[in-house]
Amino acid sequence: MKQLTNHVYVEPRWPTGTQRSAGSTSSFVVTSDGIVMIDAPSVPANSVKWLTLIEEQGKLLYLVNTGCHSDHTSGNYFFPVPVIAHEQTRKAIPFNLTKDGNQAERLKRNHPSCAELVKNYFIRLPSLTFSDRLTMYVGDQVLELLHMPGHSPGETGVYLPREKVLFTGDNFANGYQPKMSDCLPLEQLDALKKMLDMDVEYYVPGHGDPGDKQAVRNYLVIFQGCVDAVRGAIERGLTRNEAMEQIRLPIPETLVYRHPEPEQLKIDVGRLYDGLAIPRSEASRV
């Protein structure tokens, strides 16, 4: 666990115990009234450890989900506090946690040593939602929850003006390849540009270590290159299937590939194609 500022703690490198992903970056903010947590570890044992670490700093009050995907939300079960998220994220969580079957069984399969921890597992949904922005006044801290669609339609940024910290969700991943199978490409570009315009010193990504403005700029360049590659295919008249077969996204080999399967890379091209070939208002519903 890394102490980013006097009041912000981050864990970007959870162990898995298996070949499966360790999940997203987990964080919490210490206030004079208690703790606000951002995103839950996806490995059950890590969630139990995280709750212990939090309780050493104070009482946990709230959990914020920055997005709907299981690596941010499946661990909600272990944190018996109100969960806050964008209204679209709340609607999407059940699908994301059940599309590959029963979530408890999947956790047991992926992390056999944690089977006892999930014997009573259920999907803990957000009980508080917002549509555009929500300002939380918790003790001596202000947390601004901002709807920043991109990686997913309900993606949320959590901004701490006092700390000059922005939790970006998966709109930004530091040192990792973009995963684009649910993204709204033009909206994600907008979100990255808005992030750079904010008074922020530390950007806490959905995956990877906290970064600065240059790290976000670097990610923006990579994402823009992917968008431009697929836009070029559309302009050349390639069909969606042709683009998926022919286009290789310009992602540097130095980035860690969280989803290296060739089929996933084709899915990413297809999603970019959809987001660029149809109007934004329709793409947000796909």
Q: pLDDT digits over 46-69, tens only?
A: 999 999 999 999 999 999 999 999
Query: Measuring CA to CA, which residue among 180, 136, 175, 179 is closest to residue 158?
Result: 136
Q: pLDDT (tens digit, 9 = 90+) per residue, 183-194? A: 999 999 999 999
Whether 270 is covered by a domain: the verdict is: no
Give yes or no for a contact between 218 and 192, defined as CB atoms under 8 angstroms apart.
Answer: no
What are φ and ψ of residue 281, in 5° steps?
-60, -30
Query: Rounded to whole angstroms, what are the CA distances from 77 to 51, 66, 80, 128, 238?
Result: 11, 16, 7, 16, 45
pLDDT recorded at residue 99: 84
pLDDT confidence tier of residue 258, bands split at 50, 70 and 90: low
Range of the domain at 120: 2-212
Q: What is the mean pLDDT of residues 213-227?
A: 97
* CATH number where 65 lies: 3.60.15.10
The domain total for the chain is: 1
Q: Which two tokens stand for residue 55?
A: 């309780």
pLDDT recorded at residue 279: 58
What are φ and ψ of residue 245, in 5° steps?
-85, -30
Whether 174 is covered by a domain: the verdict is: yes
Whether 246 is covered by a domain: the verdict is: no
pLDDT confidence tier of residue 38, bands split at 50, 70 and 90: very high
Q: What is the mean pLDDT of residues 132-138?
A: 98
- 3-state DSSP call for residue 109? helix
> Most confidently modeled of 18-32, 105-119, 161-175?
161-175
Whether 223 is covered by a domain: the verdict is: no
pLDDT recorded at residue 111: 86
Whether 207 is covered by a domain: the verdict is: yes
Q: Which of 126-135, 211-220, 255-264 has the lowest mean pLDDT?
A: 255-264
Whether 283 is covered by a domain: the verdict is: no
34: phi > 0 → left, psi -120 to 50 → alpha, else beta; which?
left
Whether 269 is covered by a domain: the verdict is: no
Can you tell me the distance from the alpha carbon of 153 to that of 159, in angstroms, rounded to the nearest whole number?
A: 18
Q: pLDDT (tens digit, 9 = 90+) per residue, 1-13? A: 999 999 999 999 8
Whether 217 is covered by a domain: the verdict is: no
Can you tell me the distance from the alpha carbon of 66 to that of 70, in angstroms, rounded to the nearest whole number?
A: 11
Prediction pTM value? 0.93
Give yes or no for a contact between 154 and 68, defined as CB atoms under 8 angstroms apart.
Answer: yes
Q: pLDDT (tens digit, 9 = 90+) per residue, 163-183? A: 999 999 999 999 988 889 899
CA 14 to chain centre: 15
Q: What average pLDDT is seen over the chain?
A: 92
CA 274 to chain centre: 21
pLDDT recorded at residue 278: 75
